[in-house]
């Protein structure tokens, strides 16, 4: 092999490796998640607390933190640094936002990828190779109702997208291991989510900036909780 061929080979190899690195960074984002100290404290607290609230200013990384934690429970792919709650089996989970649209544009976007660009599903925190069967919601374009996520055990977790605007009757139902509420929820829905996870020893965690002052949700955590 002459020097020119060698050059071509090494540059092709470099390109292939670069492409693979790029692919992993976009389609296996979870592996690259490094929490800020406050996010890490929040994750760690899950080991000992079934109920958690990450209350902070806007753009601090609340949704990011909630989505990364959800992806770890769904896939069972806990990072080497993880000290939070762990499940050793596939989980049933809810991820909720205020309205269907907010859930789709914020929560679904962070977990799955851009809602309107299906070719890019798999660029959120749930790795592309773990995405399974999808059932779409009715009445809101591009909103996923339920998606199966491959768990490290070989089984499938089930993630359902929910919104507070659906109202309480739609929040009653089966047991859940994990429930993530992104943005402040009406207290009755919070208790409904808690009830769903009581029987399973599951967790409920919330991520929001309080915009309604001392709401019942805020009071619950401030008065009855432990600040970390």
Q: Is 60 in the site for ligand ADP (CB under 6 A)?
A: yes
Cβ contact 82:72 at 8 Å: yes
Among 39, 63, 108, 197, binds Mg ion (CB under 5 A): 63
Contact call for residue 150 and Mg ion (CB under 5 A): no
Number of H-type helices and E-type strands within the chain: 7, 7
How long, in residues, is the chain? Answer: 228
Considering the complex, state which of residue 57 and residue 226 has its C-beta at the smaller distance from Mg ion: 57
Binding of residue 2 to ligand ADP (CB under 6 A) = no
Asked whether 150 and 132 are in contact (CB, 8 A), the reply is: yes
Q: How far is the CB of 113 from ligand ADP (least distance, A)?
A: 14
Residue 39 is a binding residue for ligand ADP (CB under 6 A): yes
Q: How far is the CB of 219 from ligand ADP (least distance, A)?
A: 21
* Residue 102 in contact with ligand ADP, rule: CB under 6 A: no
Query: 């709650």: which residue's tokens?
Result: 85
**23 phi-psi bin (left φ>0, alpha ψ -120 to 50, beta other):** alpha
- Three-state DSSP class for residue 146: strand
* 61 contributes a contact to ligand ADP by CB under 6 A: yes
Query: Does residue number 58 form part of the binding site for ligand ADP (CB under 6 A)?
Result: yes
- Complete DSSP assignment for 135-161: EEPSSSTT-EEEEEEE-TTS-EEEEEE
Binding residues for Mg ion, rule CB under 5 A, total 2
CA distance 99 to 50: 25
Using DSSP's 3-state secondary structure scheme, residue 52 falls into: strand
Binding mask 76-115 for Mg ion (x = CB under 5 A): ----------------------------------------
Q: Which residues bind Mg ion (CB under 5 A)?
A: 62-63
Q: Which residues are designated catalytic?
A: 183
């Amino acid at each position: 092999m002459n020097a020119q061929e060698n050059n071509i080979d090494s540059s092709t190899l470099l390109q292939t490796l670069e492409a693979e690195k790029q692919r992993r960074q976009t389609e296996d984002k979870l592996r690259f998640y490094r929490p800020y100290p406050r996010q890490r404290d929040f994750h760690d607290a899950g080991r000992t607390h079934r109920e958690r609230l990450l209350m902070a200013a806007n753009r601090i990384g609340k949704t990011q933190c909630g989505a990364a934690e959800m992806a770890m429970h769904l896939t069972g792919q806990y990072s080497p640094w993880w000290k939070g709650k762990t499940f050793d089996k596939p989980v049933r989970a809810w991820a909720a936002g205020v309205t269907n649209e907010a859930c789709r544009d914020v929560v679904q976007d962070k977990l799955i990828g851009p809602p309107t660009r299906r070719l890019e599903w798999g660029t959120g925190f749930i790795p592309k190779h773990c995405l399974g069967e999808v059932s779409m919601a009715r009445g809101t374009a591009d909103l996923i109702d339920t998606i199966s996520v491959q768990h490290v055990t070989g089984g499938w977790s089930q993630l359902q997208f929910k919104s507070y605007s659906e109202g309480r009757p739609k929040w009653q139902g089966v047991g859940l291991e994990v429930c993530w509420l992104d943005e402040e929820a009406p207290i009755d829905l919070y208790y409904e989510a808690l009830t769903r996870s009581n029987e399973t020893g599951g967790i409920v965690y919330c991520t929001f900036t309080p915009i309604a002052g001392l709401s019942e949700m805020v009071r619950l955590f401030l008065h009855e909780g432990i600040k970390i």
